[in-house]
Amino acid sequence: MYIEKINSPADIKKLNIEQLTVLASEIRKGLLNRLSKRGGHFGPNFGFVEATIALHYVFDSPKDKFVFDVSHQCYTHKILTGRRDAFFDDEHFGDISGYTNPEESEHDFFNVGHTSTSVSLASGLVKARDLKGETGNIVAIIGDGSLSGGEALEGIDFAAELGTNFIIIVNDNDMSIAENHGGLYKNLKALRDSSGKCECNLFKAMGLDYTYVPDGNDIAGLIAAFKKVKDTDHPIVVHISTLKGKGFEPAEANKEDWHWHMPFDPATGKVLWGDSGENYSDMTCGYLMKKMKADKSVVTITAAVPTNIGFTEDKRKEAGKQFVDVGIAEEHAIAMASGIAKAGGKPVFATHSSFIQRTYDQISQDLCINSNPATLLVNTASVYGMHDITHLGIFDIPMMSNIPNLVYLAPTNCEEYFAMLDWSIEQDRYPVAIRIPCNGVIHSDEPADTDYSELNKYKITQQGEKIAVIALGDFYQIGEELSKLISEKTGTAPTLINPRYITGLDTELLEQLKEKHSVIVTLEDGILDGGFGEKIARYYGPSDMKVYCYGLKKEFIDRYSVDDILKANHITPAQIYKEIM
């Protein structure tokens, strides 16, 4: 076992090619151990083992600096830079995050989780190195799927201007999360097919020098190529062709399923637990498929995460031209949706709360100034969503709800969600965004309203007195529990309100509440700063009404327990009851 002797990158340099090849297979065992038990990014890591070994063999980290794009392919880098135990020793799984993390190691420079950022971040390291008269290689490592993102293309275009040492490794495995989209992938294929010799070359067209490595899983070839570009005096792209998921047959065979994977049986690749019944991804897909069949002007759009709303490969094919995956290109997706809506189509764009952050200006300028009736579905927009610091779903309310003209809706259950979605697709006046519920599929016996065109009309679901609980979206159920607790403890039922609209106040209702209520409680599934409750607090600012806002503190949280976070923010019925009494 060579792996036991690798405590820092310096130890790799002592091995010969044959030994490094054995090391690669040992590393894959560690990857398999962690990923089969804990889940994580599978394909990106299995495909990049050899390249990571070669990088650490040739360059001298951390003097030479690696910046990984998305950083979901950095596991081998972690293994080689002192974090081996987190893969081979189950008790140490929790020691590391799934992304590069400067708090873990001097070999990591950024917390990264979003795509297409590596070239720009690394170009900052280049610029600072040069300003300070320092030396060392700066190496950005970007996957082909990330290339289509605007930030990456801006960065690659700018890189040429640096005119100094800067190495951009393009890890081309002919895949994004799903298949690649965008014209540039034809060029990558032409480059692969011509072994890098094709005259028309995207990278050269952006002013960069270029070299090609045909087998990106061959350590000897990689080492030779990296040695050639080491200490280069100008920016250069090293295009390497790798096999996503290499070394694990199911992952090689089904690259999309194995991009990120749940825990599984390492012998068979089968997931360790079955489908947990209803989920909003499949239900949203089912609804949209039906809608698209009935109306040829409806079109579903995703940006490289088609399965976030259940559009697996078969569904994508079935939807035909009415389904568009734009690849990593969220900005383009929103602007295109605006254009479709302008011309009378009915676009529905869905992505995660964390990724819709990439489109603030497109929502504002391309969509909302023009008031075009596109529908945006915001997924995992919740404390119950993704738990990594780079993928939080707790910021979309302040980001989106303060953009004029947008109607942002927060459904409280399954039936209400689909009623809102249906209304949004059919109406032609407003840009509408909807938070897909994230606290489980909760059904209601109450028929959901079908018309949401009278904006900012809150719904009283329980008329009571003294206290009014205004509970938004996913936190409506906490509002229900709180309401019950208040009734039980005080003998007086509070008023319970489902506000539905995040983007405006029902001033008529808020005014009426003054008659029989002296306390308002607001609940929202996101940070409080810039959010929903603060608008209520402002409305009542000049009055005698006491307003208590509950939601999350403005902070980046990482790998958290939902229960802990709710408690820390006092968002349990018992805590709230105690505070308002």
Question: Is 565 a residue that touches a copy of itself (CB under 8 A)?
Answer: no
Reference 23, options 86, 71, 99, 76; nearest CA is 76
What amino acid is encoded at 411 in this protein?
P
For a copy of itself, the binding residues in 116-135 under the rule CB under 8 A are 117, 120-133
Binding residue for a copy of itself (CB under 8 A) from 20, 548, 566, 571?
548
For a copy of itself, the binding residues in 414-473 under the rule CB under 8 A are none
Q: 370, 498 in Cβ contact below 8 A? A: no
Binding residue for a copy of itself (CB under 8 A) from 142, 368, 378, 482?
368
208 or 219: whose CB is closer to a copy of itself? 208
For a copy of itself, the binding residues in 51-110 under the rule CB under 8 A are 67, 102, 109-110
Question: Is 184 a residue that touches a copy of itself (CB under 8 A)?
Answer: yes
* CA dist., res. 416 & res. 413, Å (int): 5
* CA dist., res. 9 & res. 56, Å (int): 6
208 or 438: whose CB is closer to a copy of itself? 208
Shortest distance in whole angstroms from residue 499 CB to a copy of itself: 15
Return the half-sphere exposure (C-beta side, CA atoms, 13 A cut-off) of residue 567. 5
Binding residue for a copy of itself (CB under 8 A) from 81, 146, 351, 390?
390
Cis before residue 373, ω within 30 degrees of 0?
A: no
Binding residue for a copy of itself (CB under 8 A) from 1, 10, 22, 200?
200
* CA dist., res. 240 & res. 222, Å (int): 8
Question: Site mask, a copy of itself, residues 133-172, x = CB under 8 A?
Answer: x--------------xxxxxxxxxxxxxx-----------
Binding residue for a copy of itself (CB under 8 A) from 357, 462, 512, 572?
357
Q: 524, 531 in Cβ contact below 8 A? A: yes
97 or 439: whose CB is closer to a copy of itself? 97
- Residue 433 is given by DSSP the state E
Kindly give, in sequence order, each residue whose CB lies less than 8 Å from that of residue 412, ignoring residues fewer than 6 positions away: 437, 442, 444, 471, 473, 474, 476, 477, 498, 500
Give the range of 11-19, 38-46, 168-176, 322-330 binding a copy of itself by CB under 8 A.
322-330
For a copy of itself (CB under 8 A), the number of binding residues is 120
Kindly give, in sequence order, each residue whose CB lies less than 8 Å from that of residue 84, ignoring residues fewer than 6 positions away: 3, 6, 7, 30
Q: What are phi and psi of 197, to 5 degrees?
A: -95, -15
Shortest distance in whole angstroms from residue 53 CB to a copy of itself: 25
Question: Is 534 a residue that touches a copy of itself (CB under 8 A)?
Answer: yes
Binding residue for a copy of itself (CB under 8 A) from 319, 336, 448, 523?
336
For a copy of itself, the binding residues in 266-305 under the rule CB under 8 A are 296-297, 299
* CA dist., res. 451 & res. 127, Å (int): 55
Give the range of 9-17, 112-120, 224-232, 483-491 binding a copy of itself by CB under 8 A.
112-120
Question: Is 331 a residue that touches a copy of itself (CB under 8 A)?
Answer: yes
Kindly give, in sequence order, each residue whose CB lies less than 8 Å from that of residue 538, ignoring residues fewer than 6 positions away: none
Binding residue for a copy of itself (CB under 8 A) from 105, 312, 405, 427?
405
Inter-axis angle of helices 507-516 and 532-540, to 10 degrees? 60
Give the range of 15-23, 56-64, 218-226, 387-395 binding a copy of itself by CB under 8 A.
387-395
Shortest distance in whole angstroms from residue 136 CB to a copy of itself: 10
Question: Is 537 a residue that touches a copy of itself (CB under 8 A)?
Answer: yes
Binding residue for a copy of itself (CB under 8 A) from 4, 16, 91, 183?
183
521, exposed or middle or buried, with CB in 10 Å at 0-12, 13-18, 19+? Answer: buried
